């Protein structure tokens, strides 16, 4: 059954499921969106249509197919900038995922800006992709890492950063929404603390992008990364937003086609933003799919989706708290989209396997 996205204000389960071919064709109750979201029909159709009717490389050809493909690719960059309220599409860099976006900053910014004695502050709520790159950067620069731990409920108050952020802090790495607990840290407060000592902040918004309204200007963040596949888009595409002056000061991450201005045996000059960080032929179909995914979210309404998710989260949490032997992690308030629990005497993998039967 085809349902207009604009009529999904109530987000009735049957109508919502009808937007996703896999869910519509089965009785699967999908509980793994924290790892990767299912793909709505409009995204699948956009990708297939590009390959079937409009495939060509971009930024190279002047023939109609290439021009049209380039326009669609660039239109997604503009859509991402609008989704993030970024000052300019030039500050939106396409990568292979949030992992690569975070590593790009760890390689191009951290390895050129950090030195022995500098400190990186990392929370213990981070996904490995916003944890390991900073360990690697510290090893390569002589910087040290200071970790900020949440309390026993997984809560990470702004005050927890008071001792960790010092005059030696050069970078703070923080999730916008924990993929494990659903905890939403006080990102804006932490950014204010970091900027007060001259430190930069990188925010991992991979989990938040599909659930919370992101505004990089209101946050005053220096870098922010997210993945397409968690916001109903395809795999293999990520986004890095960066403050212009930081991106312009950073060396390229990879070398190759499309990131150069001129090449000769005497040397190479690099292209400006965003091309400087987008070497080689990109995942064109994936980027177009991301554009379709963002239109999908915006047409339904991110705030409507978040309100519905919050209702489900509160209902689930309330029912779980009535069951002896189950402890819900992350507290009751200040969470979004994710519910984690501990079941007395049952290993997490065993519980997950039983739920999947």
Encode pLDDT of 138-149 as tens digits: 999 999 999 999
Banded model confidence at residue 2, pLDDT cuts 50, 70, 90:
very low
- The answer to whether residues 122 and 151 belong to one domain is yes
Lowest mean pLDDT among 8-12, 21-25, 228-232, 312-316: 8-12
Evaluate whether residue 215 is within a structural domain.
Answer: yes
Encode pLDDT of 80-134 as tens digits: 999 999 999 999 999 999 999 999 999 999 999 999 999 999 999 999 999 999 9
DSSP3 helix / strand / coil % (the chain, rounded to 5): 45, 15, 40
Encode pLDDT of 228-270 as tens digits: 999 999 999 999 999 999 999 999 999 999 999 999 999 999 9
Evaluate whether residue 48 is within a structural domain.
Answer: no
Banded model confidence at residue 8, pLDDT cuts 50, 70, 90:
low
Domain boundary pick from 246, 278, 296: 296
Encode pLDDT of 197-220 as tens digits: 999 999 999 999 999 999 999 999
Evaluate whether residue 53 is within a structural domain.
Answer: no
Give residue 194's domain range: 64-296
Question: Has residue 297 got a pLDDT over 50?
Answer: yes
- 334: helix, strand or coil: coil
Encode pLDDT of 25-65 as tens digits: 999 999 999 999 999 999 999 999 999 999 999 998 999 99
Q: What is the mean pLDDT of residues 1-29?
A: 78
- The answer to whether residues 282 and 307 belong to one domain is no
Question: Has residue 76 got a pLDDT over 70?
Answer: yes
Q: What CA–CA distance (Å, rounded) separates 176 from 123? A: 11
- Only one residue has tokens 């916008």, namely 176
pLDDT at 50: 99
Question: Has residue 301 got a pLDDT over 80?
Answer: yes
Separation in Å, CA 131 to CA 27, 30, 49, 99, 136: 37, 28, 38, 10, 9
- The answer to whether residues 230 and 213 belong to one domain is yes
Q: What CA–CA distance (Å, rounded) separates 290 from 356? A: 29
Helices (H), the chain: 13-17, 21-24, 41-53, 64-84, 98-104, 111-113, 132-141, 187-196, 216-219, 244-249, 284-300, 302-320, 348-355
Question: Has residue 11 got a pLDDT over 90?
Answer: no
Contact predicate 82/297, CB 8 Å: no
Q: What is the mean pLDDT of residues 157-184?
A: 97
- The answer to whether residues 99 and 248 belong to one domain is yes
Task: Supply the mean pLDDT for the chain.
Answer: 95
- The answer to whether residues 264 and 323 belong to one domain is no
Question: Nearest 10 degrees: CA dihedral of 313, 315, 319, 321?
Answer: 50
Evaluate whether residue 32 is within a structural domain.
Answer: no
Contact predicate 342/152, CB 8 Å: no
């Amino acid at each position: 059954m085809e349902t207009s996205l604009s009529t999904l204000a109530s987000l009735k389960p049957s109508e919502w499921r009808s937007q996703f071919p896999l869910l519509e064709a089965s009785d699967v109750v999908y509980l793994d969106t924290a790892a990767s979201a299912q793909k709505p029909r409009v995204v699948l159709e956009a990708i297939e249509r590009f390959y079937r009717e409009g495939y060509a490389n971009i930024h190279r050809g002047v023939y109609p197919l290439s021009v049209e493909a380039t326009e669609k690719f660039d239109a997604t960059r503009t859509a991402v900038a609008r989704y993030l309220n970024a000052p300019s599409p030039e500050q939106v860099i396409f990568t292979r995922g949030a992992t690569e976006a975070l590593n790009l900053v760890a390689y191009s910014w951290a390895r050129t800006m950090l030195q022995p004695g500098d400190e990186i502050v990392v929370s213990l709520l981070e996904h490995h992709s916003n944890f390991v790159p900073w360990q690697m950067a510290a090893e390569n620069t002589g910087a040290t890492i200071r970790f900020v731990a949440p309390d026993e409920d997984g809560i990470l108050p702004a005050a927890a950063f008071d001792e960790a952020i010092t005059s030696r802090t050069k970078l703070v790495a923080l999730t916008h929404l924990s993929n494990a607990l659903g905890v939403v840290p006080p990102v804006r407060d932490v950014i204010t603390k970091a900027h007060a000592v001259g430190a930069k902040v990188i925010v991992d918004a991979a989990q938040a992008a599909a659930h919370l309204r992101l505004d990089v200007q209101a946050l005053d963040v220096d870098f922010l990364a997210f993945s397409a596949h968690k916001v109903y888009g395809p795999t293999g595409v990520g986004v890095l937003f960066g403050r212009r002056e930081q991106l312009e000061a950073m060396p390229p991450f990879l070398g190759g086609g499309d990131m150069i201005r001129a090449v000769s045996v005497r040397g190479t000059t690099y292209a400006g933003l965003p091309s400087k960080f987008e070497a080689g032929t990109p995942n064109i179909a994936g980027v177009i799919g991301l554009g379709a995914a963002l239109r999908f979210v915006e047409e339904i309404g991110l705030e409507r989706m978040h309100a519905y998710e919050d209702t489900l989260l509160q209902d689930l949490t309330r029912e779980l708290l009535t069951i002896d032997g189950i402890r819900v992690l992350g507290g009751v308030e200040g969470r979004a989209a994710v519910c984690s629990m501990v079941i007395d005497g049952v290993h997490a993998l065993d519980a997950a396997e039983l739920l999947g039967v």
